[in-house]
Amino acid sequence: MTKHGSRFAYLVGAVLLSSTAAHAQVSDADASAEVDNSGAIIVTAQRREQSLQDVPIAVSAFSQADIETRQVNSTLDLVDYVPNLIGHHNTAVGTANAYSMRGLSNTESIATFDAPVGTYVDDIYISRQGANDFALFDVERVEVLRGPQGTLFGRNSTGGAINVIMAKPKNELGGFAEIGYGRFNRWQLRASVDLPVVEDTLLAKISGYYIDSDDYVRNLVTGEKLNGEKNWGLRGAIRAMVSDTVTWDLSADYISNSNANLPHFYDPTTGKRITYTKISKKTPLGTGLVSTRLADNTAGNVAKSYSISSNLSVDLGDATLDFITGYRHLFQEFMTESLAGATGVTIDGVNLVSASTGSGIPLVNDSWHKQFSQEIKVSGSVGDMLDYVAGFYYINETNESDFANLLITASGSAFVNGDRVMSNDTEALAGYAQLDLRLTPALTVTAGIRYTDERKTIEFTPNDNPLPLTSSSVPFVTQDLLDLGIPVKQNNKVWTPRFALQYEVNDDVMLFASATRGFKSGGWNARAYSPDNAAMFTKETIWSYEAGVRSELLDRKLRLNLTGFYFTDYDQQLPGGGLNPLTGSITYLTRNVADMENYGLELEVNASPVDGLNLYWAAGYQKASFKNVNDITRAQQAACLAGTVTSCNLSIVTPDGQIAEPTRAPKFSSTLGFSYKADLGNGLTLTPSANWRYLSKTWVSTSNDPRGLQKAHSIVNAGLSLKTDSGWSVGVECNNCFRDVYMTSFLIYPYLNDPGRWAIKVRREF
């Protein structure tokens, strides 16, 4: 037996043996997602409605009730409750979430690099990571699918998918309004109202939210405070029952989110977050430093987006035909500074030991992103033996990024590393089908396939910039890449199949095993300062194998879901950046580096031993490593070992010339929590809740810079809510209650987590 095969056999055996000890899960009533009349949790992880326990995929589902009880205010907060998933705000860009699912991650938001964990809203893929931190307050449920979803969800889901299903308009007048206040003078308003225009025929919903929070980082150079948040959005939805067989769902939204994640330090002597940067949120850079369109940028980040979605659903009897259309537009403007304006920095873990005012490396960005997608999907059944889903998918995406990288010395002299416009387009077509054939009442065989034809292009145009250049290769144009033999077009044609077996031992226990292929698009190292470094990288592909048990016992008072997995991610793409010790600027390097291998176990347990009490535990184990390091990385490693310092501490080559361990892949992660709904009488209920999140040590530096090792740490969240049967409620909550400080990313210096928060909320449902 091969090495890969033996490990997969071990995982299958471990999972199947563990089923004899299954004593598992459920929450109280419908505490985990939408339920049917029998109490089964309903999800659409296979693009059609199914009971969660019947899905041969590792999936976690959260209802609106879960989201409220567990203090999930945005999609980023979900990472506390999903095995082998961690996440954080991207470097500089607080509106962007960078997820790591089973060690597959991304910390690059530029449009030539796609994330391995796809984000979907109402079945519509969100291409750009720059504004994927959605405020979750009026949703039906959220499903987090672990492992590649290349057959039914498509490209760029090698790690998994986060699928947000928004609440649909209801047939009766009602809604809620909520106001909250918390740490850092944070005000939060949320409201939603259902408006039945014509009963049973035309329904409408209007929702909105507003967040205003003070800055928490003090700039010791300018005296300003940074990293606050101003975030608001509106959404309207219409559901039209055109006939007995035709339903049309339409929605539109607008979101303006100003939320920065500028690099800073934690001063343990004062307990404050501080920075030394010279950039200001009040004073623009001006035309003396950058080109005209970027001259008005100030320190911070703002993302403004609007989207329109449509789903025309036709009931054909034994089948349903869906026409799913989406359009999304995003404008993003930010300015950050990677050195945090400091020199002589000494850091002990996350604690700042010493630093003083020094050089800066500002990055200034304006970008425009447009995407249109159209999907035609049919799903249904043929008798009692066959279920199917099939469809056609098209997406067209255009991106324009105007960005500049500067070097400003401690004395005030300024140089430009690059000031250019990068345009890149994507067009992809796909067809897919999946069949679930019940060979016997207990045994089901699943086979699916997707074919994707994808085309990408890129162009570079330099801007006029008054500053002296740091290199003779700056600026460069598209023709410079062609002269070096670097393609400016890519075309990928990829088949991504899926195979699965599931066996129902009885009404309470189901076993499954699967093999799935996925791929992630290629791209270019678009942040490069010279044409030779703006090289193309190829697609990344994955084969993943899973086996698991789904069990419900004691009349759904106990539920356990256990999954074992093994995968090889071939030609993994890795964004990297490090300080060039010769020039004092950043070297950006995004490329294929090696194959990544990972295997592990994932456990989700829920229990309701008595009425009102819900206990849950989500735990993950994994062991990731790089294999088959490619020739380019080996050459970089050899140069480092030979004494070329610019080849060390970059990409996956460590400071001492070794091959690094994968980032954001802690061997063990765990969340243990509870909620209890106590009836106080007189129409009052009191619900305390708390959870404890633990992560073992993990690297957040791709090159394993010693300062980029985050030690094992814990986070505690808690809440207490008092509700009346007339619709009023008041609650207090804290996220990261003990204000633990830890690293989430690393670029020259560590990027730190958001500070702990508390809040008081008053809500009225009607």
619 pLDDT exceeds 80?
yes
Predicted confidence (pLDDT) per residue in 362-414, tens digit: 999 999 999 999 999 999 999 999 999 999 999 999 999 999 999 999 988 99
647 pLDDT exceeds 80?
yes
Cβ pair 707, 729 in contact under 8 A: no
Predicted confidence (pLDDT) per residue in 161-216, tens digit: 999 999 999 999 999 999 999 999 999 999 999 999 999 999 999 999 999 999 99
| pLDDT band, very low/low/confident/very high, at 40 (cuts 50, 70, 90) | low
764 pLDDT exceeds 60?
yes
> Average of pLDDT values for 260-268?
96
Strand residues in 138-228 grouped as ranges (E):
139-146, 160-166, 174-182, 186-198, 202-213, 217-219, 225-226
pLDDT of residue 39: 53
Top-confidence residue, 434 or 475: 434
3-765 belongs to CATH 2.60.40.2470: no
Predicted confidence (pLDDT) per residue in 188-199, tens digit: 999 999 999 999
Predicted confidence (pLDDT) per residue in 272-291, tens digit: 999 999 999 999 999 999 99
Distance CA(46)–CA(715), nearest Å, equals 33
Contacts of 478 (CB under 8 A, 6+ apart): 458, 459, 460, 461, 488
- Nearest residue to 241 via CA among 199, 207, 194, 193: 199
511 pLDDT exceeds 70?
yes
Predicted confidence (pLDDT) per residue in 706-720, tens digit: 999 999 999 999 999
Token code pair at residue 447: 């086979």
Distance CA(443)–CA(385), nearest Å, equals 10
Token code pair at residue 653: 């080559």
- pTM comes to 0.92
> Average of pLDDT values for 437-443?
96
pLDDT of residue 34: 57
| pLDDT band, very low/low/confident/very high, at 133 (cuts 50, 70, 90) | confident
| pLDDT band, very low/low/confident/very high, at 570 (cuts 50, 70, 90) | very high
- The 3 state secondary structure assigned to 634-690 is HHHHHHHHCCCHHHCCECCECCCCCECCCCCCCCEEEEEEEEECEEEECCEEEEEEE
- Nearest residue to 288 via CA among 110, 131, 462, 414: 414
Token code pair at residue 480: 């410079």
Mean pLDDT estimate for the chain: 92
Residue bearing tokens 């801007």: 463
> Average of pLDDT values for 106-125?
92
Cβ pair 24, 551 in contact under 8 A: yes
